Amino acid sequence: MRNTRVTVSTIVGLIAEGLIDLPANFCVSDFMKSMKGSSSKYMNDKKIIKQHFAWQRGYGAYSVSGSKIDIVKKYIENQDKHHRRKSFTDEYEDWKKEYGIFDD
């Protein structure tokens, strides 16, 4: 897991969204634990922000059809403009209703 390469397309405000090609033999929860831990350590060691940095509890991970990768990349790259029209929270709530997803 240590040598996994990840490209994050964009970071929008307090919301980090990325398109990650994770090998099938990797566990998503292990990957997220490693990514959150190492990025928090980096942010705090380098004092990137004045306050102590910590990720919120939880994450969302979704699979994407190979034929939709370019659409998803464009969606992520345009989040800043998009969230000026509709907040992330409102969009997420609408998305959950559309796809029948309920919070734990």
pLDDT digits (tens, 9 = 90+) for 63-80: 889 899 889 888 888 877
pLDDT of residue 19: 84
Please report, for residues 6, 16, 43, 48, 55, the alpha-carbon distance to residue 95 in angstroms, rounded to integers and kept in the order given: 25, 17, 31, 33, 23
pLDDT beyond 70 at 53: yes
In percent, the amount of the chain with pLDDT more than 90 equals 23
pLDDT beyond 70 at 36: yes
Q: Which two tokens stand for residue 38?
A: 């190492």
pLDDT of residue 89: 84
How are the residues of the chain apportioned to helix, strand and coil, as percentages rounded to the nearest 5? Answer: 45, 5, 45
